[in-house]
């Protein structure tokens, strides 16, 4: 029988945020291979066509990456709160994107969107169920 030690909730949350971040990065990378994506980047005709939009996208995508470390170092009360809030927000964002990306070329994006939603849903679940000190 293999030993299965209990994993600290902070480690679980950090690992889930890291997994979600990897999925976000892969989805954005694979999107470069869809028809006309590179042309739209070259011509500047795409969704991130201004410095302000790029900044907003950077801030939004920095949150999951920062939550990896924050889940380890923050005190439990703030940690739990931020994981529930950001986990919920990113679950809803990714479900919205997945549902609105259902085309043949974006099936990978839909798959990753639902996977990301499951991961961030688990983050909310674990944070919600975080045991109180006895």
Q: Are 94 and 113 in contact (CB under 8 A)?
A: yes
pLDDT at 87: 98
pLDDT at 84: 98
Report the interhelical angle of 107-128 vs 76-99 (nearest 10°): 160
* Angle (nearest 5°) at CA 82 between 81 and 87: 110
pTM for this model (two decimals): 0.91
pLDDT at 74: 98
Task: Please choose, from the candidates 11, 2, 12, 7, the residue with its C-alpha nearest in 3D space to the C-alpha of residue 125.
Answer: 12
DSSP state of 45: -
Task: Please choose, from the candidates 84, 88, 54, 82, the residue with its C-alpha nearest in 3D space to the C-alpha of residue 69.
Answer: 82
**Exposed/middle/buried for residue 22 (C-beta within 10 Å: 0-12, 13-18, 19+):** middle
pLDDT at 50: 83
Q: What is the pLDDT along the chain (134 residues), one digit of tens a residue?
A: 999 999 999 999 999 999 999 999 999 999 999 988 888 888 877 777 788 988 999 999 999 999 999 999 999 999 999 999 999 999 999 999 999 999 999 999 999 999 999 999 999 999 999 988 76
Q: What is the CB neighbour count within 10 angstroms for residue 16? A: 26
């Amino acid at each position: 029988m293999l030993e299965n030690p209990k994993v600290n909730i902070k480690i679980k949350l950090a690992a889930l945020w890291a997994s979600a971040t990897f999925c976000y990065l892969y989805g954005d990378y694979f999107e470069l291979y869809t028809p006309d994506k590179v042309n739209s980047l070259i011509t500047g005709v795409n969704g991130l066509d201004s410095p302000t939009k790029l900044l907003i996208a950077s801030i939004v995508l920095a949150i999951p990456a920062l939550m990896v470390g924050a889940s380890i170092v923050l005190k439990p009360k703030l940690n739990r709160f931020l994981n529930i809030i950001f986990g919920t927000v990113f679950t809803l964002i990714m479900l919205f994107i997945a549902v609105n990306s259902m085309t043949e070329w974006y099936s990978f994006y839909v798959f990753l969107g639902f996977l990301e939603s499951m991961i961030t849903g688990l983050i909310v679940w674990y944070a919600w169920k975080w045991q109180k000190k006895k």
